[in-house]
Amino acid sequence: MILVVDVGNSRIKAAVFEQAMLLESYVFDNINLKINIQNILNKFQKVTELVVSSVANLDKQSFLDFDSSLKVSFITTTDSFPFHNKYSTPQTLGIDRMILAAGAVLAFPNQNRLVIDVGTCITYDFIDDQNNYLGGAIAPGLRLRYESLHNYTAKLPLLSLESPNYITGNSTSNSIHSGIVNGVVYEIDGFINEYKLSYPNFIIILTGGDTDFLAKRLKNTIFANSNFLLESLNQTHQYKIKND
């Protein structure tokens, strides 16, 4: 068994895999990191490997403390990946985007793929059917948009995420909900439609913390999987073992 851990901007995701099968997934904060990992290991005592990736400042020692009983591995940008990186500044490409791209290539061979990760930021990553990673886009996520309206204006309130069933907001709160949620939906559908004009044989993968909230609102047909990053991390690790 393998325990994979992804350290994100705002939270930590983890999952236990038996080969390609996801047995259980978790989300927690960084405060009780070691306690949470130990609790997982206590439940799944057949785990033999701990695989970690991080876009945040990573305290490697917190994970290396487990190396007396587990093999601990870190996925970094210098590892082997199953795509050709055509990004003009490859050294700035986040490891999370690289792992998502790798997962898309390994899970959906010989297709054009657009991976949309709806978390703290919304990232778009495009990999063509020749396994060329061409880049994408980065935009603020839903909660960042709510926080920005509040933090950078004098009077707009900080609201929690809600689902508007209207376009025209009849109050300040309703207008904020409409602008943010509908705006994100139109943005995502717009990106998808633009790619569809140029690329056939096309799959859209939606993942991240807001997957379930957004998936049913999009007009385009998508493959929605909130655990796709964790699955991709497991697949990338297996690819690394075979190709190093």
Pick the CATH number of 84-233 from 3.40.50.1360, 3.30.420.40, 3.90.25.10, 3.30.365.10: 3.30.420.40
96 tagged catalytic: yes
In DSSP notation, 27-53 reads: EE-STTHHHHHHHHHHH-TT--EEEEE
Kindly give the confidence (pLDDT) of every residue in the chain, 244 residues in length, as a single tens digit, with 9 standing for 90 and above.
999 999 887 788 999 999 889 999 999 887 888 899 999 999 999 999 999 998 777 678 888 888 888 999 999 888 889 999 999 999 899 999 999 999 999 999 999 999 999 998 999 999 999 999 999 999 999 999 999 999 999 999 999 999 999 999 999 999 999 999 999 999 999 999 999 999 988 899 999 999 999 999 998 888 999 999 999 999 999 999 888 7
Question: How far is residue 139's CA from residue 5's CA, in Å, rounded to a whole number?
Answer: 24
Is 0.85 surpassed by the pTM of this model?
A: yes
Q: Domain 2-74: give its CATH superfamily.
A: ATPase, nucleotide binding domain (3.30.420.40)
CA 182 to chain centre: 21
One-letter amino acid for residue 43 of the chain: K
List 79, 96, 125, 210, catalytic entry: 96
pLDDT at residue 59 in the model: 75
Question: How far is residue 30's CA from residue 128's CA, in Å, rounded to a whole number?
Answer: 35
**Hey, where are the domains in the chain?**
2-74, 84-233
Tokens representing residue 150 in the block: 């509040």
Q: How far is CA 227 from CA 41, 127, 206, 210, in A?
A: 20, 19, 10, 11
